[in-house]
């Protein structure tokens, strides 16, 4: 895969400079950051060097070495605060140990996550389950404490495997904690069914499976899940990636979004008509839902950048909880938007082809946590700490933003 950086001249087109004046260039930038005024690359001209691929070429006009903060709108400064930092904190070049399902457990100050299921460097397939692991945020803090501010130096904190019962097969998503349990969503493997399960974060890591079928039919390969802030119901996505990554049979149902009422056990579809519905998140008040559509990535069928790489927003109907008024929220310029999280202020974070991209509630791209490699998901480890999954790496950014509502202790 060719990985080239896209370069443009950073000159502001004069007609914007005359007429605008709304967005002013920040006087002081925080450490590890670059400000890219959208006006500076609005016109590339007939001899400009244009990007042909959203999957193999990055938008890094200043060719800065990652990790760093790419700021497109001064409002990103409120998210970063005056003294942010951004470091790689764990890595294993041979194993995509940090794919998705990031969950922060405050009691032990640990972040749980799952390795890639069926994809590159996942060490998992039709005959091998994937792995759940965890890191200690205390160990991360200790490793980072002596580093020079703004250095971005990498450290390597150890990852502990979490050995789970065999009922958990191909973990792909997770959220919570919900009443002290991790909520894992699994894709299933071969004939073993996809499921939603509660998992004790502490040994013996016992499991209670909440759901593994839709009126007797197996799901395709369940993908991602969130708890609705107002009702506590579980909302989750089902999509064909298990089949497209060669570890599940041919799909039997549409790619769609479901709701499980954990009190009554009732399951139903609350949104449909996607190519590949994937990540899910709610605003802290539960009134708006975000669903990513990663149709541009088709596993063994390859990437097609004319297909969706899109985040949709919906209103959650107060009566039925069906997702209403679907509208485009964002379209990523690099890769696909996979997992999504919403911070306390309603900003939307998505794992994309070049790191974590952040949009305001109004859909303006504010900035990126730029790592020049794919992030499939991320989670706040309490206020001000963003833990970014990046397949063979984990990054931690210390920022000013506060976490949204994902845990229900």
What does the binding site for ligand NAG look like in residue numbers (CB under 6 A)? 49, 52, 91-92, 156, 158, 181, 198-200, 206-208, 304, 306-307
DSSP string, 14-60: HHHHHH--SSPPPSSPPTTEEE--GGGSS---TT------TTTEEE-
How far is residue 52's CA from residue 54's CA, in Å, rounded to a whole number?
A: 7
DSSP string, 110-158: EEEEE--SSSTT---BTTB---EEEEEHHHHHHHHTTSPTT------PP
Q: Which is nearer to ligand NAG, 28 or 47 (CB)?
A: 47
Asked if residue 169 lies in contact with residue 192, where contact means CB atoms within 8 angstroms, the answer is yes
Q: Which is nearer to ligand NAG, 207 or 371 (CB)?
A: 207
Smallest separation (angstroms) from ligand NAG to the CB of 157: 8
How far is residue 393's CA from residue 374's CA, in Å, rounded to a whole number?
A: 10
Smallest separation (angstroms) from ligand NAG to the CB of 54: 12
Q: Which is nearer to ligand NAG, 135 or 365 (CB)?
A: 135
Q: Which two tokens stand for residue 96?
A: 């995509």
Kindly report the CA angle at 58 between 57 and 59, in degrees rounded to 5?
Answer: 130
Smallest separation (angstroms) from ligand NAG to the CB of 24: 31
For residue 67, say if its preceding peptide bond is cis, omega within 30 degrees of 0. yes
Asked if residue 391 lies in contact with residue 96, where contact means CB atoms within 8 angstroms, the answer is yes
Q: Which two tokens stand for residue 106?
A: 């405050």
Q: Which is nearer to ligand NAG, 297 or 321 (CB)?
A: 297
Q: Which two tokens stand for residue 386?
A: 């963003």
Smallest separation (angstroms) from ligand NAG to the CB of 158: 5
Q: Which is nearer to ligand NAG, 207 or 348 (CB)?
A: 207
Q: Which is nearer to ligand NAG, 273 or 317 (CB)?
A: 273
Smallest separation (angstroms) from ligand NAG to the CB of 282: 23
Q: Which is nearer to ligand NAG, 49 or 138 (CB)?
A: 49
How far is residue 399's CA from residue 383's CA, in Å, rounded to a whole number?
A: 8
For residue 18, how far is the Cα from the chain centroid? 38
Smallest separation (angstroms) from ligand NAG to the CB of 92: 4
What does DSSP assign to residue 297?
A: B
Smallest separation (angstroms) from ligand NAG to the CB of 181: 4
Q: Which two tokens stand for residue 202?
A: 């502490």
Q: Which is nearer to ligand NAG, 158 or 320 (CB)?
A: 158
Q: Which two tokens stand for residue 144?
A: 């980072």
Smallest separation (angstroms) from ligand NAG to the CB of 287: 30
171-178 and 160-162 strand pairing: unpaired
């Amino acid at each position: 895969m060719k990985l080239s950086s896209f370069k443009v001249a950073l000159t502001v087109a004069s007609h914007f400079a005359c007429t605008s004046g709304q967005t002013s260039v920040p006087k002081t930038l925080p450490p590890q950051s670059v400000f890219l005024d959208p006006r500076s690359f609005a016109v590339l001209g007939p001899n400009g060097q244009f990007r042909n691929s959203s999957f193999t070429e990055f938008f890094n006009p200043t060719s800065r070495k990652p990790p760093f903060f790419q700021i497109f709108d001064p409002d990103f400064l409120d998210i970063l605060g005056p003294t942010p930092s951004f470091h790689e904190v764990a890595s294993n070049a041979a194993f995509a140990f940090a794919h998705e399902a990031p969950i922060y457990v405050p009691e032990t100050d640990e972040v749980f996550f799952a390795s890639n299921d069926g994809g590159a460097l996942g060490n998992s397939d039709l005959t091998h389950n994937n792995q759940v692991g965890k890191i200690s945020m205390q160990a991360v803090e200790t490793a980072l404490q002596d580093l020079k501010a703004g250095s971005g130096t990498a450290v390597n904190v150890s990852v502990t495997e979490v050995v789970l019962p065999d009922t958990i097969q191909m973990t792909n998503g997770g959220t919570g904690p919900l009443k002290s349990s991790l909520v894992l969503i699994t894709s299933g493997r071969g004939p073993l069914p996809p499921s939603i399960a509660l998992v004790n974060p502490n040994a013996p890591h016992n499991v209670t499976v909440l759901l593994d079928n839709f009126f007797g039919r197996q799901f395709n390969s369940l993908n991602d899940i969130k708890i609705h802030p107002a009702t506590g119901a579980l909302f989750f996505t089902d999509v064909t990636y298990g089949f497209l990554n060669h570890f599940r049979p041919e799909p039997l149902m549409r790619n769609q979004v479901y709701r499980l009422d954990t009190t009554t056990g009732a399951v139903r579809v609350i949104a449909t008509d996607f190519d590949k519905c994937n990540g899910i998140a709610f605003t802290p008040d539960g009134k708006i839902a975000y669903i990513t559509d990663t149709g541009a990535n088709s596993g063994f069928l390859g990437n097609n950048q004319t297909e969706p790489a899109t985040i949709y927003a919906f209103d959650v109907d107060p009566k039925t909880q069906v997702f209403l008024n679907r509208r485009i929220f964002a379209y990523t310029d690099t890769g696909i938007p996979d997992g999504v999280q919403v911070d306390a202020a309603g900003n939307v974070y998505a794992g994309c082809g070049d790191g974590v991209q952040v949009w305001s509630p109004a859909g303006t791209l504010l900035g990126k946590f730029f790592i020049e490699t794919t992030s499939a998901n991320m989670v706040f480890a309490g206020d001000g700490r963003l833990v970014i999954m990046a397949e063979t790496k984990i990054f931690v950014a210390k920022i000013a933003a506060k976490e949204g509502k994902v845990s229900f202790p």
